[in-house]
Structure 1
Amino acid sequence: MTDRSVLVVLFDGVQSLDVTGPVEVFTGAGKVTGGRGGYPLRTAALGTAPVRTTSGLTLVPDATLAEAPTPHTLLVPGGQGTRRPDPALIAWLRENGPRAERLVSVCTGALLLAEAGLLDGRRATTHWAVCGHFARTYPRVEVDPDPVYVRDGHIATSAGVTAGIDLALALVEEDHGRDIALTVARHLVVFLRRPGNQAQFSTQLAAQTAHREPLREVQQWVTEHPDGDLSVEALAGRARLSPRHFARAFQAETGTTPGRYVDGVRLEHARRLLEDTADGVEEVSRASGYGTPEAMRRAFLKALGAGPAEYRRRFRTAAPHAKPSVPGS
């Protein structure tokens, strides 16, 4: 199939960004390739009436599901409407989902695929907040609550909301290579992609945001200066607190200790440099605040079970189209 047509399923209670995020990525790819690598895109619902999204916006489907031709990529978004799905929608997915060359869900759209029996015996993910419910309700699905997205054969499921953009970019990269996907990402002002095996929570999201402004400022400073002096004494000085008071207040308000927070930020920063740049291990270790390659190697082995060089190798093996970006390119 020359054209990788995309059909987006609409229903009342759909999450608008689950729809528009991937649509912008696929549309952008068509523009970047001058139409040669386009994704003819249509939306469809059970009926022709506009559907109301969870945010109150209304979307008008291009066609009914009954009249829509089988697409190359069938995309099923999530939203509150997945809680009590229309049986007719589930029946349509059960019949037509297997016909698509690629079956993709965003956020809780995975629940619709599971309800239709399309994820039985497969590994899948969804928004972290409903992974427990997902696993209990559909025991035949291997639910992985951690990744941003999961590929299992021709089926891809993604985590919450913006993860749909990550997955769409990964599909564009798979179809057209890293340069096209990178151009689309730059136009959307997002990272090229978070790798599918990256945790849904970044360090900053996993930790709570502190209530007090001085502590919030410290959190932001740590994120922006992983190579700085991030000792408890130095951070306490920035918050204008004694080290003991700072450590107690930080843990009480963020749910983690200053040391663990710093460790997470540095690890995340180092991972991103290894994934997205050609910087050597020694350069990455300095930029991420480890000081020496050996210190970074110990941190990687403890957290990830692999040293930095092995982590980079595995990442590139898992993402065969990926190649180091060149600074300034």
Structure 2
Amino acid sequence: MHRVVIVTFDGVQSLDVAGPAEVFAGVNTYRSETEPESGVDPMPSYDVSIVSLDGGVVTTESAISFHTASFADVIGPIDSLVVAGGFSVWRHRENSRFVDALTELIGRSRRLVTVCSGAALVAATGALDGHRVTTHWARADRLAEAHPDIHVDADPIFIHSPATGPDRPDVWSSAGVTAGIDLSLAIVEQDHSTDIAQEVGRWLVMYLRRPGGQSQFASPTWIRQAPIGPIQQAQESVIDDPGADHRIAELARRVAMSERNFVRRFTDEVGLSPAKFVARIRVDAARHELERSDDTVSAIARRCGFGTSETLRRSLHRHLGVSPEAYRQRFSHQSIDQSHRKQTPA
């Protein structure tokens, strides 16, 4: 039996805990229904326990509470240690007693799993140093700034980073909230088979492998506004009309600056080159159009400055990991309305 220990704390995100727990419970249910031997249910695949530093009832960000065992109740080796996230992680990582106890649990674990901002808790122990990890897209910058020895990649739904030494665990990390379910299904696939992971995913109405990265779910790009002056004027001209001619020469001419000085000032004041700024604004404009307009992809591409549908398709793949058609199917208002109409009462 595979031993799973899920670490919680007051203020934990409830779905970071319940999502993985439901996946592992789903494997046990699937095996009990499909692999009976002489009328006797097989041994469960996963033994899941939910723990907190001192045990007892743990409150969550929502109205849900968990009854937990204490860290001290966890005796012996751990197959998978799952550390959940939540808005309160930065407070708990300042608790040296919590961090020391978590470090001890990690030292007995074969596999270390972080869900969402749980990566920030584990980072405080040093266990993520040298690893490539992901976390919620809105928390990635803060984690990267606090821990330069960790390679934080904000786009993947989950990442598996192999152990960096013989006595250190494999590290699995997931993006925000529901991505903990994606990650857990990938763990089931590694532990058992693709077929079992697929069946559990179907029961949960989840993709086994969700297409694209988490950038497609992020809010439209936030970009630093330049101080009042020519660079801010150039920014506003791009935002007001993403489909216009925004080549560097044209932008520089528009604000009466030399190209060289314009590029240097723009990059210093905005934190992005003019070309990258224009690309991000156009991608956000295309997202808006795909969500709200019934126009063809070709029409949207022309209106947002991509020229052709193929250029838009390549740009969305580069930034979001999905095609325009897939993005529209997932996020357009029309698709949501249609999916609601297709549903029938239970």
TM-score by length of 1: 0.62
Q: Give the C-alpha shift of residue 96 in structure 1.
A: 2.2
Matched to 1:171, the amino acid is I
Matched, 1:67 2:73: yes
Distance 1:56 1:199, change over 3 A: same
Residue of structure 2 in register with 1:141 after alignment: 150
1:178-216 deviations in Å (ceiling 9; x for gaps): 111111111111112326xx31033x75559xxxxxxxx
Matched, 1:201 2:199: no
Structure 2 alignment gaps of length 5 or more: 33-41, 163-169, 222-281, 292-308, 323-346
Distance 1:60 1:140, change over 3 A: same
Cα distance between partner residues in 2 of 1:112 and 1:302: 33
- Equivalent pair of 1:37/1:176 in contact (CA under 8 Å): no
Q: Give the C-alpha shift of residue 95 in structure 1.
A: 2.1
Matched to 2:12, the amino acid is V
1:72-103 deviations in Å (ceiling 9; x for gaps): 00000001220211322211122220321110
Range with bigger deviation, 158-167 or 63-72:
63-72
Q: Give the C-alpha shift of residue 56 in structure 1.
A: 3.0
Residue of structure 1 in register with 2:224 after alignment: none
Range with bigger deviation, 34-43 or 51-60:
34-43
**After the TM superposition, which residues 1-329 of structure 1 pair with which residues of structure 2 at under 5 Å, given as runs?**
3-34=1-32, 35-36=42-43, 38-61=45-68, 63-69=69-75, 70-85=77-92, 86-153=95-162, 154-194=170-210, 198-202=212-216, 256-258=284-286, 262=290, 299=313, 303-304=317-318
Task: Kindly report the root-mean-square deviation, in angstroms, between the aligned alpha carbons of the 2 structures.
Answer: 3.1
- Equivalent pair of 1:121/1:141 in contact (CA under 8 Å): yes
Matched to 1:119, the amino acid is L
Identity rate of aligned residues, in percent?
A: 38
Cα distance between partner residues in 1 of 2:55 and 2:103: 21
Cα distance between partner residues in 2 of 1:179 and 1:165: 16
Distance 1:20 1:257, change over 3 A: same
Q: Give the C-alpha shift of residue 4 in structure 1.
A: 1.2
Distance 1:207 1:8, change over 3 A: same
Matched to 2:214, the amino acid is Q
- Equivalent pair of 2:283/2:316 in contact (CA under 8 Å): no
- Equivalent pair of 2:23/2:185 in contact (CA under 8 Å): yes
Distance 1:135 1:28, change over 3 A: same
Distance 1:130 1:207, change over 3 A: closer
Residue of structure 2 in register with 1:214 after alignment: none
Structure 1 alignment gaps of length 5 or more: 209-253, 264-294, 309-329
- Equivalent pair of 1:126/1:160 in contact (CA under 8 Å): yes
Larger radius of gyration: 2
SS in 2 for 1:193: coil
Matched to 1:12, the amino acid is D
Residue of structure 2 in register with 1:290 after alignment: none
Cα distance between partner residues in 1 of 2:310 and 2:51: 50
Matched to 1:43, the amino acid is I
SS in 1 for 2:88: helix
Distance 1:298 1:101, change over 3 A: same
Q: Give the C-alpha shift of residue 160 in structure 1.
A: 0.5
